[in-house]
Amino acid sequence: MTLSLGVIGLGRMAQALLLPLLEQGDPAATDVVAVVGQQTSADRLAQTMPTGLTIVPSSDARAAAAWKAPVQLLAIKPYQLDQVASMAPPVQGHEPSLLISVLAGVTLERLQRAFPGRVCVRAVPNTPSLVRAGLTGLAWGEGVNARHQQQVHAFFSPVSEVLELPEERLDAFLALTSSGPAYVAMMAEAMADGAVAVGMPRDQALHLANRTLAGTAALLHEQQLHPAQLKDMVASPGGTTMAAIRRLEQSGLRSALIEAVVAAAEHGRKLR
């Protein structure tokens, strides 16, 4: 079987990355083998993924073909790394395959030790990639050439803005962009709860909180505003927004968010 791509793990992020490529026909679905843990998972995914895509459990003999493809997307859980690496056949031939990992906290050094003979790239996409509004940080391993870089960018640019970073900066990138959606979701929930507390129906409150956050992010981005500029645009002297900002400062919101990002980065370093 001659393949263009092997996918190891076909969870939500792998699907988000794979589907835009299949939609544009590069690669064709028939040139992709995806490996999952169990036959039940393969059967379930076969009902929703494009026709022609081969999805097999790791126990299937066809799973070996995924490791022989010139490009492999590694999208398993980090704790599964050693088990999956033990299943990977040794690299054969003169041209090393390209391994693109989206495993949080797994360093290039560990990837290259687990998959000798392969050229490794570490990628950190965030969950807004699921709606093609994401951010992805990339760190290149040894032996990456211009063709490899082009292939990797082709993976992530349809669903995210792509940034090339030194690997040591990926912990901060992950703490801000990968963990960040959870911080924003908590803010949305809390804002909606506040509106409910003063009489608004919950469904409406959640809708308005989500739209407020989305619109604010779009305004900051599209007009290239510093956050302090936008805050000052909204906060009139002696007004309701200043009353709210005073309470947020008293409650330590700014400090809590700073410490959340720092804590996430520090925890990420411990996972190495």
Q: According to the model, what pLDDT value does residue 26 have?
A: 86
Indicate if 127 and 28 belong to the same structural domain: yes
In the chain, % of residues over pLDDT 70: 98
Same domain assignment for residues 249 and 194: yes
Q: In terms of domains, do 112 and 11 share one?
A: yes
Quick one: pLDDT at residue 270? 79
Crossing angle, helix 202-222 and helix 227-234, to 10 degrees? 130
Residue 150 sits in which domain range? 5-167
For residues 67 and 97, membership in a common domain is answered with: yes
Give me the amino acid identity at 82: D
| CA separation, residue 162 to residues 105, 178, 194 (Å) | 18, 13, 36
Q: Say yes or no to pLDDT of 269 above 90.
A: no
The sheet with strand 98-101 has its strands ordered as: 54-57, 32-36, 5-8, 71-74, 98-101, 119-125, 134-140, 160-164
**Average pLDDT, whole number, for the chain?**
93
Widest pairwise Cα distance in the chain: 72
Rounded average pLDDT over 42-53: 93
pLDDT at 194 over 70: yes
State the average pLDDT over residues 187-201: 98
Per-residue confidence at 80, pLDDT binned at 50, 70, 90?
very high
Average pLDDT of 228-239? Answer: 96
Residue ending a domain, among 167, 197, 225, is: 167
Q: Is residue 124 part of a domain?
A: yes
- Output the pLDDT for position 246: 96
Rounded mean pLDDT, 4-11: 94
What mean pLDDT is predicted for residues 151-178? 95
Q: Are 187 and 179 spatial neighbours (Cβ–Cβ below 8 Å)? A: no
How many domains does the structure of the chain reveal? Answer: 2
Residue 264's nearest CA partner among 170, 169, 179 is: 179
**162 lies in the same domain as 32:** yes
pLDDT at 33: 95
Residue pLDDT, tens place only, 108-132? 999 999 999 899 999 999 999 999 9
Q: What pLDDT is stored for residue 29 in this prediction?
A: 92
Mean pLDDT of 136-144: 96
The answer as to whether 173 is a domain residue is: no
- pLDDT-derived band at 94 (thresholds 50, 70, 90) equals low
Residue 172 lies in a domain: no
On whether residue 182 sits in a domain, the answer given is: yes
What CATH number should be reported for the domain holding residue 92? 3.40.50.720
Q: What is the pLDDT of residue 90?
A: 81
Say which residue the tokens 């909204």 belong to: 234
Query: What integer pLDDT is reported at residue 1 of this predicted model?
Result: 44
Q: Which range is least confidently modeled, 2-6, 17-21, 122-126, 135-139?
A: 2-6
